[in-house]
Amino acid sequence: MQFNPYGGPAAELAAALVNVGKDVTDPAEAVSSLFRQYNRANTVVTDSEAVEILAWADRLSPAFGEPDLARLIDVVNGLLEDSASRPYISTHDGRAPHIHYSGEHVGEVARTKAFTAAGVAHVLCLDPARLGRCDGVGCEVVYVDTSRNGRRRFCSTRCATRVYVADHRSRVASGG
């Protein structure tokens, strides 16, 4: 599935931030590393910015795997409202005019909130089922389903295999 620049990378960054978790030993490095991975920023994230961004990730989490569309829309509308996300035409780095959802000169936290909220909103409008949470028992990993058929259920092959093997063993043990 193809997304616009906000639907794909922005929503995938949102999922990655949710998956970082609170137990990281160096939040600034964890967030900076994700930003590099998603071509998000050339700047280093400070400790205080990282803490705010990870708190924002907690707010993003309920948008993934929510089966009730009305509830999902409420969650994402709240994210959009709290991010002060609004269209802004940018020409940074000599690039042609393109849309951002925050001004160029706002801080990293505000830009991250706007970017991720807009990305999640774009995916929701295309296909809300693409904002997933792993079906593995005890697994809380979230993802953006970019598969062709949109039927992803697990965060990884490892989680899927665990579930399928457990199901198989259960059927064999019960004689079915």
80-97, pLDDT tens digit by residue? 999 977 888 888 778 888
What was the pLDDT predicted at 86? 80
Does residue 112 fall inside a structural domain?
A: yes
Distance CA 116, CA 77 (A): 12
CA 124 to chain centre: 12
> What is the tally of structural domains in the chain?
1
Does residue 167 fall inside a structural domain?
A: no
What was the pLDDT predicted at 158? 87
CATH of the domain at 75: 1.10.3300.10
Mean of pLDDT over the chain: 87
Does residue 98 fall inside a structural domain?
A: yes
Does residue 47 fall inside a structural domain?
A: yes
DSSP code, position 127: -
Among 91, 31, 86, which Cα is nearest to 57's? Answer: 31
The pTM (predicted TM-score) of the whole model is: 0.85
Does residue 59 fall inside a structural domain?
A: yes
Own/partner contacts of 131-136, CB < 8 Å, gap of 24 or more, are: 131/11, 131/63, 131/64, 131/65, 131/66, 131/72, 132/64, 132/65, 133/64, 133/65, 134/159, 135/159, 135/163, 136/160, 136/162, 136/163
Does residue 79 fall inside a structural domain?
A: yes
> Does the pLDDT value for residue 6 go beyond 60?
no
CB 136 within 8 Å of CB 159:
yes
Does residue 106 fall inside a structural domain?
A: yes
What was the pLDDT predicted at 4? 56
Q: Which structural domain range is residue 15 located in? A: 6-129
**What digits encode the pLDDT tens for the residues 127-165?**
999 999 999 888 999 999 988 888 888 998 888 888 777
**What digits encode the pLDDT tens for the residues 43-94?**
779 999 999 999 999 999 999 999 999 999 999 999 999 997 788 888 877 8
Partners of 132 in beta bridges: 143
Does residue 157 fall inside a structural domain?
A: no
What was the pLDDT predicted at 161? 82
Residue with tokens 């993003």: 60
